[in-house]
Amino acid sequence: MGNAFNLGKVFGIQFRLHYTWFIIFMLVTVSLSWQIFPSAYPHWPQLLYWVMGTITSLLLFASVVAHELAHSLVARINGIPVKSITLFIFGGIAQITREATRPGAEFKMAAAGPACSIVIGGLFFSLQILTLGISEPIAAMAFWLARINLMLAAFNLIPGFPLDGGRVFRSLLWHFTGNYKLSTRIATQVGRGVGYLFILGGISIMFLLPHQWFSGLWLAFIGWFLGNAASASYRQAQWRAALHGFSASQVMTPDCPEVPSNTTVNQLVQGYVFTSGRRFFLVADEGGLKGIVTLHNVKSVSRQNWDVTQVKEIMTSVDKVKVAHPNQDALSILEQMDECDINQMPVVSEGRVIGLIARDNLISFLRTRSELRI
Ligand SMILES: [Zn+2]
C-alpha cells in the first residue's frame, strides 16, 4: 500500500499510517464530539466533548493496532515473519509475508485478532462499571469503546475471506478436507457473497432510510472493498499454488547480463540499460561476482555525477545480495522477495551465477503455462 507514513518499529514490526487513515480519524472524532456524546450527555461543557472525542478516537485506533498486533505476534510464534502494520480507512492490515502451511497455525493466527478485540471490549466494560458513579465522561468513553471493540470482533468474524472469520472458516475447511485449494475457493466465494450482500444492504438503506444515507453509502463501500479483496486474495492464492512445486532452475532466465565494476554510471545507462531494456545487472570482474546493480541504484546518483561515478560505488555488494539455490522452491523465492522488498534474485550454484529470477519472470512463467493449459 503506497502513500503511507512510517511511524516507527515496535517488536521489530514497522508501523505505518496510510493517508486515508486521517479521513476516518477525523470522521470518528467529529461524530463522537459533535453528535454521539452531545446527544447522550447534553450537560457537558463544549470543550469536554472534543477532548473526550479525540481521546476516544485515539483509543479506538490503539485497539485496532492491538488487534493487528495480536495477529502478528501469533504469526511470529508460528515462524511466519511480519513486515508491517498499516492503519488505513477500513482499519488495520498486518502485512504477513507468508501463508500458514498448516490449518492449525492459520486458525490461531486468524482467531487471535478478534479474540484480542473481545478481551479489550471486556476490559472497557469493566472500566465503565468501575467509573460509573465517579466520572461520567470516562464511563461514557469506556462504554463506547467496549461496544465498538465487540462490533469490530463481530465484523471480523464474518466468515468471508479475507476477513479473519473467512480465514478461520478456511482453516476449518482445510483441516477437515485436507484440500487447501478447495478451501480457499469456497472461503473466497463466501467472501465475495458477503461483499455483494453489504453493497445490496447499503443501497437498500440509502433508498429506504434517506436520513441514514451516509451509513448506507459506507456499508456499500465496505462491501465493494471486501469483494475486491476476496478476488485479489483468490488470485494470489492461485498463483502461489501454481508456483509451488517448481524449482528456481525451472523458472529462472539463464542469461544475466554482466558489467565490469569500473563501468561508469553513464556507460551503464547508455551501453547496457538502453540497449537491453533491463533494469538489473550483475557486477563481475575476472575474479567473479562483485555485486548487483539496479535501476534503483542508478536513480540515487544525480545526473551530473554519472560520468565520475563507477558502478562499484553504487552497487549492492555480493555479501548483501540475497541469492537463490537452483533447487529452491519457486514459491519460497517469491516469499523471500516479498520479505526483503526486492524484485530480482540471482540463482547461484557452486559460487557461480547460473541465472536470474525476476518477479516479472515469475508472472510471465505462470501466464505462459496457463495459456498453454499446462
Ligand atoms: Zn483481524
Distance of CA 140 from the midpoint of ligand 1 (Å): 26
Give tens-digit pLDDT for 97-138: 777 778 899 999 999 999 999 999 999 999 999 998 899 999
The mean pLDDT of the chain is 87
Distance of CA 334 from the midpoint of ligand 1 (Å): 24
Residue 81 in this model has a pLDDT that exceeds 90:
no
Least confident of 12-21, 63-72, 200-209: 12-21
Give tens-digit pLDDT for 10-43: 888 888 889 888 888 999 999 999 988 999 999 9
Please enumerate in sequence order all residues whose Cβ is within 8 A of that of 80, keeping only pairs 6 or more positions apart, or say none: 96, 97, 98, 100, 105, 109
Higher pLDDT, residue 139 or 236: 139
* Structure confidence at residue 153 as a pLDDT band (50, 70, 90): very high
- Kindly state the average pLDDT of the residues 143-162: 91
What percent of the chain stands above pLDDT 90? 32
Distance of CA 93 from the midpoint of ligand 1 (Å): 8
Give tens-digit pLDDT for 241-260: 777 778 888 888 887 788 88
Residue 50 in this model has a pLDDT that exceeds 80:
yes
Distance of CA 289 from the midpoint of ligand 1 (Å): 44
Model's pTM, two decimal places?
0.73
What percent of the chain stands above pLDDT 70? 98
Give tens-digit pLDDT for 309-348: 888 888 888 788 888 888 888 888 887 887 777 888 888 8
Distance of CA 90 from the midpoint of ligand 1 (Å): 11
Residue 3 in this model has a pLDDT that exceeds 80:
no
Residue 373 in this model has a pLDDT that exceeds 70:
no
Please enumerate in sequence order all residues whose Cβ is within 8 A of that of 324, keeping only pairs 6 or more positions apart, or say none: 248, 252, 333, 336, 345, 346, 347, 348, 357
* Structure confidence at residue 280 as a pLDDT band (50, 70, 90): confident
Residue 172 in this model has a pLDDT that exceeds 70:
yes
Residue 1 in this model has a pLDDT that exceeds 60:
no
pLDDT at 322: 83
Distance of CA 78 from the midpoint of ligand 1 (Å): 17
Residue 147 in this model has a pLDDT that exceeds 90:
yes
- Kindly state the average pLDDT of the residues 171-192: 90
| Ramachandran sector of residue 213 (left: φ over 0; alpha: ψ -120 to 50; beta: rest) | alpha
Annotated active-site residue 350? The verdict is no
Residue 220 in this model has a pLDDT that exceeds 70:
yes
Distance of CA 113 from the midpoint of ligand 1 (Å): 5
- Kindly state the average pLDDT of the residues 293-305: 86
Residue 374 in this model has a pLDDT that exceeds 70:
no
Query: Given 68, 99, 106, 335, which residue is catalytic?
Result: 68
Residue 200 in this model has a pLDDT that exceeds 90:
yes
